[in-house]
Amino acid sequence: MADRYLIEPDVNFINEIAGLGGEDLKKCFQCATCSVACPISPDNKPFPRKEMIAASWGLKDKLVGNGDIWLCHNCGDCSTLCPRGAKPGDVLAAIRQYAITDYAAPKALGKMVNDPKKLPVLLAIPTVLFIVVGLLLKLLGVNWLNFAPGGDEIVHSHFFSSWLVDLMMIPASFWAVAVFGLGLKRFLADIHANALAEGKTDKESIEPVGFVQALIRIIPTILKHDKFNECSENKDRSTAHMMVFFGFIGLFIVTSIFFIVLYVFQIHGPYSQMNPVKWLANIAGVSLVIGSSLMIKNRLAKKDDQVSTYQDWFLIGLALALGLSGMLAEMTRLGGLAGISYFLYFVHLVFVWSLFIYVPFTKLAHIVYRTTAMAYSEYGNRK
């Protein structure tokens, strides 16, 4: 006699997935074409067919804590070949966005980040915060904010002190790490529990050493975008994606080096354009601007089988704003346009702070969750 299972569909979950770009979910009639078409789906318990079944039934717990939704790179192969136009790739993208907001806290901030009407408020928060903190310190005799820096040379730190920048940025970065840390703790527990239930693994618990070794093994795959390049549809997105990806990595390296140079070696900027680290900064900035611009171009020329949501535009817009504001602030500084340069520098700081504070709730969080899911899949030896 067959086993009995009690299914309790979450209708609200189904509606939310539809609102996040998975509105064609109900067109799926379980032909399994998507799982056959996907070039990167594991042979053991392949996706996305089982995820489409669970989503149709509103089985939130089987999806939010499912590592397989992150193994999908949304290349579009399954959506193109789907005979019913159910767009499995977009459905999984919607589930991933739901999972991001579910694992990040506080929930209220997550809702704000994903609500286009709240965008002015999100940008106003750091704008006001930077000015208020600077003015309060000024009242206490700490002159870290100077609206009239003067001098023959344009030095951004004379307008907005490096100490004030770090006073705002360091807590913001710790915030991002803390939010991701708490989310990943739940995420790993959930994907392991789901893997045990679905027979993807027979290990009762995750071995830390083995997991870290698996993480190290998949780093080259991520850096080379091997999984992304295995797909056939929308393969042109790979170049833009890599440019943005390596742009962020390059700028992170540059920021770390200059932080050490400033606080350990007490060498203050601005630094020479002949400095190799400055070269890396400029190359990374240009890569970020070009890559995000290509993403916008691809989105505007998108096919009917690829959905663009507010979450997509928020991420691309933030990346472009970061790159443009940083590059223009530097160019106007070199060009001697003091007022414009100082203003653009302040705008750049607002976007950098926004990246740290809001990133755990945005689509950019997939860097953390997808990396973790890929490491877990490698750890479980799913091929």
Over range 105-116, report the average pLDDT: 91
- Does 376 score more than 50 pLDDT? yes
Task: Note the pLDDT of residue 383.
Answer: 65
Task: Note the pLDDT of residue 306.
Answer: 63
What is the fold of 11-103? Fumarate Reductase Iron-sulfur Protein; Chain B, domain 2 (1.10.1060)
User: What pTM, to 2 d.p., does this model score?
Assistant: 0.88
pLDDT tens, position by position, 218-227: 999 888 887 7
Distance CA 326, CA 81 (A): 42
User: Is the bond preceding residue 270 a cis peptide, omega within 30 degrees?
Assistant: yes
* Model confidence band, residue 231 (pLDDT cutoffs 50, 70, 90): confident
Task: Note the pLDDT of residue 227.
Answer: 77
- Report DSSP state, residue 244: H
Q: Is the dihedral of CA 38, 319, 246, 266 positive or negative?
A: negative
In the chain, domain spans:
11-103, 107-379
- Does 204 score more than 70 pLDDT? yes
Task: Note the pLDDT of residue 1.
Answer: 46
Closest CA to 28 of 91, 115, 99: 91
Over range 183-208, report the average pLDDT: 86
Mean of per-residue pLDDT scores for the chain = 88
pLDDT tens, position by position, 147-190: 888 777 888 988 989 899 999 999 999 999 999 999 999 999 99
Two structure tokens written together for 298? 């691809």
Instruction: Please state, as a whole number, how many other Cβ atoms lie within 10 Å of the Cβ of residue 258.
Output: 18
- Does 2 score more than 50 pLDDT? yes
Task: Note the pLDDT of residue 152.
Answer: 75
- Does 316 score more than 70 pLDDT? yes
Q: Exposed, middle or buried by CB within 10 Å (0-12, 13-18, 19+), for 150?
A: exposed
Task: Note the pLDDT of residue 289.
Answer: 96
Residue 226: helix, strand or coil by DSSP?
Answer: helix
Is the model more confident about 172 or about 235?
Answer: 172
The residue assigned the tokens 């990595």 is: 249
- Does 304 score more than 80 pLDDT? no
The residue assigned the tokens 């900035």 is: 285
Is the model more confident about 210 or about 271?
Answer: 210
Over range 52-76, report the average pLDDT: 88
